[in-house]
Amino acid sequence: MSAAGYDEQAVLTALRSGDEAAFAALVRRHHASMVRIARAYVSSAETAEEVAQEAWLGVLRGLDRFEGRASLRTWIFRILTNTAKTRGVRDQRTIPFSALEPDDRGPDPDRFLPDDHEHWPGHWAVLPEPWPEDRLIGAETAARLQQAIDGLPAGQRAVITLRDVEGLGSAEVCNVLELTETNQRVLLHRARTRVRAALEDYLAEEVP
């Protein structure tokens, strides 16, 4: 179902009445995204799949308690991230947001304006040159992009996956990950900086 034709209240009513088709449609809508997000916290794709399945069980168990204070998607993703964090701790892989080093700003800090800049704190000092579109649409470039995301610390990876891969807004990401707006912005900036640097290195390798 497209976003334009999505009636959340109707979906909730169907789910609470035990409509299996409605639940199957919800799984098709969100499951792949849930696996991608879970992968930020656990050690393998197989474990991420298990986390997503466990989160769906949590969704089914919690439907009657869902109060609609956030969107259904936000609520589902929050169950997913909490499940993934718990599993990640058990697997001794997850990196708490609080463990990020204060000076972890990614490569070349001089490329950015200082944090106390009057108008654009932390933004590019000089905008980077755009890349040729035909060099960004290949399968190998997409694979390198995913590889760069996979190599990020858990907090950065979760934020960039939700914002830039899944298309969630900043407020929704803060809700899902229980972050302040400032922390969300810092993590996203660091993640984007690292990913861009990785792509710059890759594209430079292709230059004759």
pLDDT average, residue stretch 39-51? 92
| CATH hierarchy code of domain 101-206 | 1.10.10.10
Enumerate the domain spans of the chain: 8-90, 101-206
What would the pLDDT profile of 114-144 be if each residue is shown by its tens digit?
666 666 665 555 555 554 555 555 667 778 8
Confidence check: pLDDT of 93 > 60: no
At residue 115, the pLDDT reads 60
At residue 126, the pLDDT reads 54
Q: Determine the Cα–Cα distance for residues 6 and 104; give it in Å rounded to an integer.
A: 40
Task: Provide the token pair at 157.
Answer: 């990876």
pLDDT average, residue stretch 33-55? 93
At residue 37, the pLDDT reads 93
At residue 7, the pLDDT reads 84
Helical ranges in the chain per DSSP H: 8-16, 20-38, 45-62, 72-90, 139-150, 154-160, 170-177, 181-206
**What is the CATH topology of the domain spanning 8-90?**
Rna Polymerase Sigma Factor; Chain: A (1.10.1740)
What would the pLDDT profile of 144-196 be if each residue is shown by its tens digit?
888 889 889 889 999 999 998 888 999 999 999 999 999 999 999 999 888 88
The more confident residue out of 102 and 160 is: 160
Q: Determine the Cα–Cα distance for residues 34 and 207; give it in Å rounded to an integer.
A: 36
